Chains A and B, each alone.
Chain A
Amino acid sequence: MNKRIAPEAARKGATRRDLVIGATVVGGALAVGACSPLDLLGIGAKSDVGAFGPFIKIAPDGAVTVISKHIEFGQGNHAGLAAIVAEELDADWAKVTVEQAPANVKLYANKTAGIQLTGGSTAIANSWNQLRQAGAAARAMFVQAAATKWGVPAGEITVKDGVVGHATGKSAGFGELIADAAKVEPPKEPKLKDPKTFTLIGTDRVRRKDSRAKSTGQATFTQDVHKPNMLTAMVAHAPKFGATVSSFDATEAKKVQGVVDVIQIPTGVAVLAENTYAAKKGREALKVQWDEAKAERLSTDKLATTYAEWAAGKGTLPEKTAWQGFDSKGDFAKAPQGEVFETTYDFPYLAHASMEPMNCVAEVGAGKAKLTFGSQAPTLDQLNTAKIVGMLPGAVEIETLFAGGSFGRRANFQSDYVTECVHIAKKVGKGRPVKLVWTREDDMQAGYFRPLTHHNIRVVIGQDGFPVAWKHRIVTQSLMKGSPMPAKGLDETTVEGAKGSPYLKATPIVDAQALLPDNGVPVLWWRSVGATHTAFAMEHTIDQLARKAGKDPVEYRLALYEKAGATRHIGALKLAAEKAGWTTPAPAGWSRGVAVHESFGSVVAQIAEVQLVDGQPKVGRVVTAVDCGVAIAPDQIASQMEGGICYGLSAALFGKVTLKDGVVEQTNFDTYRVLRNSEAPRVETYIVPSANPPSGIGEPGTPVIGPAVANALLAITGQPSLSQPLVKAV
């Protein structure tokens, strides 16, 4: 979820080539030549594709293994990807397993992003046609093999649950036919099933394949890797972004039993030890002097105030920044006279705080670089590793493991924690395995936050209560810093959700602009990216406008969606409203709030029941309706709605990273509060029936709950929520 390289560009597929070429340049080891960029990226890669292609392996016993080009770190994509293959192949679902693909951009590029990565809620969407064809081609090979063997027309062959059969009573499992089938030329354009005949896709039979391993402690995460002769490393990091090592004294650190070596690397000083605790104690004993001459020293209080001033047209803009427009039309200065509604919203920096802190295992030796970890963007990790070790990117081996969450954190243009591990492993050399372990404190203070963001909105309201002119200013940081893609205009990841909003479509005059000043705090996509703030700004504003107009918030939205032609919004909202009983009173003591938002091609409507307990919001039932195209794994769609809502609610209620004089003030879960079990809502998920191709599901549930809760609070107190988190720290 949350995890992508160039989300807006990716969705359109327009700049894929730019991206890949850019990424190649970043690789540094290569110059763009006569062959295609993908060929260049893939140079040095091993290719051992079996008879049934890069996505399917079939064993002599008939067992089917689906190879996933996407990492599984919670989204449930492995279930959906395997189901797509199994459906077209007519495999026995109970005997299908999933294996993680190695890094190989030629075989396993994300068709939306152009490189191998999991992100932008694209795993299912970009694989849909590819895996249907892979499954259908393999099925056709078995059908042809059986037809030839039995001397019957291929059209009379049936396949069901991994068994190939004929009306004469002949039948054989995949395993029995495998040698013959492997010799059949795969059809280039295999016939796909009519979706009406699906027997697996869309049913509750599509379940996770990893639940047992993850319920028994047997699933292997990076943290669990133990290789012979492996060293464990912890790194003393600078207290401020941009500070560097001035000097260090390792005398005491080296006295710690189990500490093997202490070495300087670009990001700090690494303590290498025989085990994790020795590395930790060694790091505690280490003395490092930091050079803070170039360090970032900002304080978030001041930054938020400055952003608000700029958005209000005050103060001097920093050099090299300028307002950039989107979705604008008409002349706001000539807007009709009418009542004016003005509001501002403040959003803090947020940490991803996945359960497994960042970590990596690297082995670097003569002509070899191997990484073993939860790689979200293998192509970027290959390129960044190749630069350090002086190899061809394709020759950098990556074995991708399960990762304990990411929410966007594990894919970034710098491969930050990966390259830290590679630098250490290179110094250690001889191919000796090094496991870099970050503590929670390392993880939380390393940055790559959702950026601190400010919105300033001014709406002129018409006689009918609907907006006639909308002025919108957003101040935030660009997420594309360090991107191999050359900047071309506005970084749309910062405004998506405001940009493209049906409310702006329905408003005759729009003046929408964003300002993207830079600073030294690294920022990154965070589950649902731009929508983490735009959904709140749009949905909370609309609710206030509806109440000002004396109209029901659901009816008010539906009227605007009609004007904008947003039919999927209408479908999702009507379904949620019906299931939540919107037109009937909420249970005694509870109030309802509604919000709707489209992201990653999916539209999500949520209705939250909220009450105040000791002055703080408590969320009970949440009804969510989602239009995500064809529903492949309904139970995993529900699971992602439940999880996405918890993730978004955690941030809306509690999430806030602050900096004081450049130092991140939150270090662990005692200072960065997150949602706990007793605070989790009861989520009911309803899926809008659709024949459209599948769209995203990992992220779209996340940004909707915050405004739904704020809108319920508005109903309770009459007061808007102008800054997050909603629960103020004591």
Chain B
Amino acid sequence: MAMTLDVNGKPMTVNAAPDTPLLWVLRDELGLTGSKFGCGVGQCGACTVLADGQPIRSCSMPIEGLGGMKITTIESLGGTHPLQEAWVKHDVPQCGYCQSGQLMSAAALLAANPKPTDADIDAAMDGNICRCGTYQRIRAAIKDAAGLAAAPKA
């Protein structure tokens, strides 16, 4: 079935069953492989993208409900987003597999709340698992990008 999705500001025609989770359409049909498959049940956040600015777990979101919504993926951040710069500055990634999802959750947080508290960060980021344990650098990078903390790294 053909359906049109608004992905990263462009209308994209996709041929997929209506119950297909957005993640597989992004990855297998559109070649946007930045969003990752981690758990398939909305538990780990590796697949996080934005729908009308809200973070969603694309692995558990059938495309049939997404018509007309603006889907934003890691590819749209452009590589120079303040969060991406902060991620590089703090050498946040280890294996890197979860980081697209982490960044999209963080991007949604800062867009809605430019000066988040630690509790705000907890609430926004607890849905994104990192098995390498980069959590403290993620927190530092979010604060850095938000201009909240002088956390100099070489």
Contacts and interface: CB of A to CB of B under 8 A. Distances in A.
Do A and B associate with each other? yes
A211 interface: yes
Q: For the side of the interface on A, what is the size category?
A: 35 or more
Interface string B59-96: 00000000000000111010100001001100111111
Contact of B122 (A212, A276, A402, A678): A678
A76 B84 CA distance: 19
A32 to B, nearest CB: 37
B136 A211 contact: no
A205 B154 contact: yes
A214 B92 CA distance: 9
B96 A643 contact: no
Contacts of B139: 677, 680
B14 to A, nearest CB: 11
B145 to A, nearest CB: 11
Given A355-B46, A643-B134, A221 B91 contact: no
A149 interface: no
A677 B27 contact: no
A669 B130 CA distance: 12
A213 B96 CA distance: 9
Contact of B97 (A218, A221, A636): A221
Contacts of A212: 79, 84, 88
Interface in B1-48: 16-17, 20-21, 24, 27-29, 31-41, 43-44, 46
A356 B35 CA distance: 12
Contacts of A600: none
Contacts, number: 188
A639 interface: yes
A407 interface: yes
B143 to A, nearest CB: 13
Contacts of B79: 212, 216
Nearest to B36: A223
Pick the most buried of A211, A407, A636: most chain B CB atoms within 10 A of its CB: A211
Contacts of B17: 257, 277
Contacts of B131: 353-355, 405, 407, 647, 650, 674
B110 interface: no
Nearest to A359: B37
B128 interface: yes
Most B-side CB within 10 Å, residue of A276, A404, A635: A404
Please report whether the interface of chain B is mostly helix, strand, loop or mixed according to DSSP: loop
A217 B40 contact: no
A696 B37 CA distance: 31
Nearest to A217: B34
A680 B154 CA distance: 23
B50 interface: no
Contacts of A683: 136
B16 to A, nearest CB: 7
Contact of A642 (B16, B20, B129, B134): B134
Interface string A619-649: 0000000000000000110010011111100
B80 to A, nearest CB: 9
Nearest to A226: B31
B97 A355 contact: yes
Interface string A203-244: 111011011111111111101101000001000000000000
Interface in A360-400: none
Nearest to B98: A355
A215 B93 contact: yes
A405 B43 contact: no
Interface residues of B, number: 59
Contacts of B87: 211, 215
A439 interface: yes
B21 A277 contact: yes
B41 A207 contact: no
A360 to B, nearest CB: 15
Nearest to B1: A257
B93 A208 contact: yes
B92 A215 contact: yes
Given A355-B97, A675-B133, A211 B31 contact: no
A411 interface: no
A204 B154 contact: yes
Nearest to A702: B133
B137 interface: yes
A642 B131 CA distance: 11
A677 B28 contact: no
B136 to A, nearest CB: 6
B154 A403 contact: no
Nearest to B100: A217
B52 interface: no
Interface in A665-717: 668-670, 674-678, 680-683
A481 interface: no
A219 B96 contact: yes
B84 A215 contact: yes
Interface in B114-154: 121-122, 125-126, 128-139, 153-154
Max chain A Cβ within 10 angstroms of own Cβ: one of B16, B31, B35, B94: B94
Nearest to B135: A680
A328 interface: no
Contacts of B21: 277
A73 interface: yes
Nearest to B37: A223
A407 B131 CA distance: 9
B51 interface: no
A644 B98 CA distance: 17
A221 B97 CA distance: 8
B113 to A, nearest CB: 16
A76 B95 CA distance: 8
B20 to A, nearest CB: 5
B56 interface: no
A224 B96 CA distance: 13
B38 A217 contact: no
A501 interface: no
A356 B91 contact: no
A275 interface: yes
A75 interface: yes
A210 B130 CA distance: 17
B115 to A, nearest CB: 18
Contacts of A407: 131
Interface in A650-675: 650, 668-670, 674-675
Given A216-B77, A217-B33, A635-B154, 5 more contacts: A217-B32, A219-B96, A405-B94, A642-B134, A675-B135
11 contacts: A214-B93, A217-B33, A220-B33, A354-B95, A639-B94, A639-B137, A642-B136, A669-B39, A669-B41, A676-B126, A683-B136
State the 9 A-B residue pairs at the shortest beta-carbon distance, nearest first. Answer: A217-B34, A646-B133, A404-B97, A214-B96, A74-B94, A204-B154, A74-B95, A680-B135, A643-B133
